[in-house]
Amino acid sequence: MESLLIKGGVPLEGEVWISGAKNAALPIMAAALLTPEPCIIHRVPNLSDVRFMAQILNWLGASVTFKDGTLRIEARKIKGYGDYDLVRKMRGSICIMGPLLGRLKRARVSLPGGCVIGARPINLHLKGFEALGAKITIEGGYVQASARRLVGSAMFLGGRAGSTVLGTANVMMAATLAEGVTVIESAACEPEIVDLAKFLNAMGAKITGAGSPTITITGVKELHGAEHELIPDRIEAATYAIAAAATDGEVTIKGARADHMHAVLDKLEEAGVSVVRRGPDLIVSRKGRLRPVDVTTLPYAGFPTDVQAQMMALMTLAPGISIITERIFESRFMHVSELARLGADIEIEGPSAIVKGGRPLSGAPVMASDLRASAALVIAGLAARGTTQVNRVYHIDRGYENIDGKLRQLGARIQRIEDT
Ligand code: EPU
């Protein structure tokens, strides 16, 4: 297994290019199942999650090639069945279900199960499929959806934590090939949903309202091939911005979308970080001493849960108390005990973490538990004195393209090593 070895205390300086968004790539790749014609997707990040999704599409019968950031997917003939061993490894793979149901009118996919950040139910996805007329059965760990015909209808997809990103994506994809009009209320407003709608519309779908809580889909008979460039990864951009602030460096983040990052950039500014917006670039540096800020994660356009761990790492460096409240996933605080190994003082009180910041961090071996927790540990390691070894780096490779290479380019002393 690989680890990252970080010698901390070096301010990050220079430029970093942001990759295409992982969470836009996965549903858009699945959407290519809706047509037998070839689809071309550009700016695709080379990540283990993306390669894994390509394997799933391949297993379903699609031919997939991936070269120099461009994916070509041709799903001439596909089967409507997603095996447990495929789906359990990546929770995001549940988004094959909507396209399979849309195109074949039947889908049988293994229930993904929970993961380290929470239970991750799919009841809202199924509620949406049922509203389109599908019959849902659950047996032997598999969920089956089937319909003679899918018929558009109005539905409310809000859940206990608000909207659902992949639930909205799944229902939107199935509804493109339903008869009549579907209206999703309490739809997710994330930029990745807007990107998916853009791709589906390029395929011939009729979707309006994406980016707002009401999305309207007028069904069409068939979809055709399309070409698309993914939006930049706002979570990756936020992670580098936080790393720049944590190391007291100055980093130009190239090719980002500040308009997708208002909540994060606003919090960073409140914390004493300077963010200069220059077209698609962001220049991030500290203005003086870091200040503690309170953060609550919310669906878009609120502060993203996928940046909560990284922000917490930054707040361990800000003298004073900050309260970080997680409202999306019930157990997304796995990084807290690992940050404590670096010297951070954090207490968990229900859905909140109380960070008493300002103590110097010192390097130690730590264990990555999930993707964003690992990013937080890398940030803390970059800011800490001495050497930090982040174990189980495969978590970070799921969502950050070439993170060690990009950080080295910014002057970080970071090395990937094979554990003995
Ligand atoms: N929820 C339900 N019922 C459902 C679906 C969701 O109650 O049927 C709840 C969840 O338990 C959670 C909340 O709704 O409390 C939001 O979950 P959501 O469905 O929006 O999450 P997701 O679509 O499964 C995507 C991203 C996650 C990101 C979340 C929230 C992908 C592939 N994954 O997951 O990304 O954290 O939205 O923004 O797009 C990551 O990249 O590290 C990651 C975990």
Domain ranges for the chain: 2-18+233-418, 22-219
Out of 3.65.10.10, 3.40.1160.10, 3.60.20.10, 3.40.50.1220, the CATH code matching 2-18+233-418 is 3.65.10.10
Q: Which residues contact ligand 1 via a Cβ below 6 A?
A: 23, 26, 92, 118, 120-125, 159-161, 164-167, 304-306, 328-329, 371-372, 399
Q: Whose CA is nearest to atom 40 of ligand 1?
A: 306
> Which ligand 1 atom minimizes the distance to the CA of 370?
42
Angstrom distance (rounded) from CA 283 to CA 107: 46
Ligand 1 centre and the CA of 305: distance in Å? 9
Ligand 1 centre and the CA of 376: distance in Å? 19
Q: Which amino acid is at 147?
A: A
Q: Ligand 1 pocket: which of 29, 163, 328 to mutate (most atoms <8 Å of CB)?
A: 328
Angstrom distance (rounded) from CA 164 to CA 178: 21
pLDDT average, residue stretch 179-207: 98
Phi-psi map region of 320: left, alpha, beta (phi>0 left; psi -120 to 50 alpha): left
- Measured at the alpha carbon of residue 155, what is the angle toward residues 193 and 127, in degrees to the nearest 5? 85
* pLDDT exceeds cutoff 90 at 259: yes
Segment 281-305, tens digit of pLDDT = 999 999 889 999 999 999 999 999 9
Q: Predicted confidence band at 420 (pLDDT cuts at 50, 70, 90)?
A: low
The predicted pLDDT at position 140 comes to 86
Q: Do domains 2-18+233-418 and 22-219 have the same CATH topology?
A: yes
Segment 117-148, tens digit of pLDDT = 777 899 999 999 999 999 999 988 889 999 99
Segment 206-254, tens digit of pLDDT = 999 999 999 999 999 999 999 999 999 999 999 999 999 999 999 999 9
Q: Which of 26, 23, 105, 108 is nearest to 60 (CA)?
A: 108
What is the pairing mode between strands 352-357 and 320-325?
antiparallel
* pLDDT exceeds cutoff 90 at 311: yes
Ligand 1 centre and the CA of 239: distance in Å? 19
* pLDDT exceeds cutoff 90 at 159: yes
pLDDT average, residue stretch 377-406: 96
C-alpha distances (whole Å) from 20 to each of 138, 254, 355, 372 are: 35, 12, 32, 17
This prediction's pTM: 0.98
Segment 20-37, tens digit of pLDDT = 999 999 999 999 999 999
C-alpha distances (whole Å) from 229 to each of 25, 99, 165, 258, 311 are: 10, 20, 20, 18, 29
Structure tokens belonging to residue 252: 């130009």
Q: Predicted confidence band at 79 (pLDDT cuts at 50, 70, 90)?
A: confident
Q: Predicted confidence band at 149 (pLDDT cuts at 50, 70, 90)?
A: very high
Q: Ligand 1 pocket: which of 93, 95, 120, 332 to mutate (most atoms <8 Å of CB)?
A: 120
95 is catalytic: no
Is it true that domain 22-219 has CATH number 3.65.10.10? Answer: yes
Structure tokens belonging to residue 249: 């460096």
What lies within 8 Å, CB to CB, of 356 at 6+ separation is: 320, 321, 345, 346, 347
Q: Which of 398, 373, 375, 374 is nearest to 47 (CA)?
A: 398
What lies within 8 Å, CB to CB, of 337 at 6+ separation is: none
Residue that the structure tokens 């380290």 belong to:
116
